[in-house]
Structure 1
Amino acid sequence: MELGQCEHLLLQRENGFLSIYFDRPHVRNAMNLEMVRELSRVLMAVSESDEIRAVILRGSGGHFCAGGDIKDMAAAADRSRHAEMGADEDPFFELNRAFGDLLCLTDRLPQVVIAVLEGNVLGGGFGLACVSDVALCHVEARFGLPETGLGIPPAQIAPFVVRRIGLTQARYLALTGLRFRGREALRLGLVHRVASDEAGLKAELEAVCEGIRHCGPQANSVTKRLMLQVGQVPLETLLDDAARAFSSCIRGEEGQEGTRAFSQKRKPIWAEPPPSS
């Protein structure tokens, strides 16, 4: 799988896991439009690959992501002042909607998405945490939706926050700009595990990755797709789709290997440790 060169991301592949580090530490990994486009391009390539089983999102320099780059927004404002534009040429719309597309792409990625949250997890970083399948955080990670304090709404983020933690809590956080740390994120259901130090966070990540290795990649992909349809399609339609998916999987190569391995009391081939080089 060819991922190409990135200016704002660091990519590391190991045994079917792709770690993507946001790499703008001088602005605490705040996202500009170029970074959003790079991440979208990488995730699109991943979505079409059978080589990657999980994506790990994290930040370099001790921070996950401080949200949108305010300087990038200011540059968009400058462009709007110096040009007469139609609705489809609005740089604010382009910047904001591109991030919404990224959230949708991340949310629907066939692979498991793990977010490792440290330092600032604000605005757009908060949104990315909300579309992860598994979220792990350092106890001192700092969460918040600061947009309304800047006089703007968390426009693309809000629907995913509501879905993650519920409307009541989402309103409270967005309309007050409250900042909080890891244990409160766990209580809200934003994250799944909290670690007190770097070693603990590494151990939590290793445990999650080990669990994923024991799950059939195709089964995980199908399961994720079915779960995302809950509330989006009628229940009877969803159950029909689920039954067809079950039949297809159990007849397929992965399902046959999994059931055969269970009968033979051994690990399926996807759970075997990779050969040492």
Structure 2
Amino acid sequence: MDQLPHCETLLLEIEGPTLHITINRPDVRNAMSLQMVAELSAVFAQIETDISIRAAVIRGAGGHFCAGGDIKDMAGARGQETGDGEADPFYRLNRAFGQMIQQVNESSKVVIAITEGAVMGGGFGLACVSDVAIAGPTAKFGMPETSLGVIPAQIAPFVVERIGLTQARRLALLGLRIDAKEACTLGIVHQVATSDEQIDDLLGQALERVRHCAPKATAETKALLHRVGHESMSGLLDSAAEKFAAAIRSDEGAEGTMAFVQKRPPKWAGDVE
């Protein structure tokens, strides 16, 4: 792929078709600064058009995923002149995060979150826009905004999409913190590991499955899933049928069906069994 953007808050490593993104501000439990938001946005913009990258794995350094927004950025915004709407520095700060998390949510790549330690506020929102979320035994999840006198403005819609309005109300309005087991029960994460070794095993299994699935078909499927509930069902199914017909006629469709008949892995699966 082309050279990755230079990042000061993120560590980036390419391993085959996977980009590993490590949030690297361990001294503040990986709190999300404006710089980090900009760097995450630049990274996801870069890989969106790169067909060699099929999955992005996000995790945090130092035992924490992300503890939420950076208080220093908020203090800095408070020191600026404020106005209404887009001129307001708090608006710009908050909205920049929302644009980034929407970008991650709509990425055509398979986004995998490895959640450990603090998964709070913006970090909680980032976990909720992953396609696959694996929690370690130390993970604690929460929406503490209301207990701080603010609101989960940009993450709330994604939390509702993830776990439904009823559970989102309870978490947001009580400012609760929950453990990995309850997060799995609610559907915030899909799997809970009991050790670092098991985290690596579960991640390896997920990435192996990514390799089995055709990249273009995966991207089209993800886009289709995001349209559910936002369009009329009849129109959505009409469009989906058109996408299906195009997929069948595509190079991927031809290779996939031929591989099935010949009882061999498709080319995009590489050397997996």
Using structure 2 for the length normalisation, give the TM-score: 0.97
Residue 31 (1) aligns with residue 26 (2): no
Please tell me the root mean square deviation across aligned C-alpha atoms, in Å: 1.1
1:257 and 2:255 aligned:
yes
The answer for unaligned runs of 5 or more in structure 1 is none
Among 215, 230, 242, the residue aligned to 2:240: 242
The correspondence of residues 142-157 of structure 1 with structure 2, limited to 5 A, is 142-157=140-155
Distance 2:4 2:92 in 1: 24
Cα deviation for residue 76 of structure 1 reads 0.6
- Offset at residue 89 of structure 1 (A): 2.0
Code of the residue aligned with 1:237 in structure 2: it is: G
The equivalent of 1:45 in structure 2 is: 46
Secondary structure at 1:61's aligned position in 2?
Answer: helix
SS at match of 1:211: helix
CA offset at residue 218 of structure 1? 0.7
- 2:212 match: 214
Identity of aligned residues (%): 53
Count of matched residue positions in the alignment of Structure 1 and Structure 2: 271
> Which secondary structure does the structure 1 equivalent of 2:62 belong to?
coil
Length-normalised TM-score, structure 1: 0.96
- Report the secondary structure of 2:134's partner residue: strand
How many angstroms apart in 2 are the aligned matches of 1:53 and 1:115? 14
Query: 2:132 — aligned with what?
Result: 134
Distance 2:83 2:225 in 1: 41
On the 8 A contact 2:5/2:42 being kept in 1, the answer is no
Cα-to-partner distance string for 1:180-236 (whole Å, 9 max, x where unaligned) = 111000011110000001001110000100111100011110110111100111111
Q: Equivalents in 2 of 1:205, 1:108: separation in Å?
A: 21
Provide Cα deviations, 1:239-268, integer angstroms capped at 9, x if missing partner. 111111111111111111111111111000
1:63 correspondence with 2:64: yes
1:119-173 CA distance string (max 9 Å, x none):
1000001001111000000122011001111100000000011111111111111
SS at match of 1:148: helix
Residue 84 of structure 1 and its aligned partner are, at CA, apart by: 5.7
For residues 222 and 54 of structure 2, the distance between their equivalents in structure 1, rounded to whole angstroms, comes to 13
In the alignment, structure 2 segments of 5+ residues that lack a partner are: none
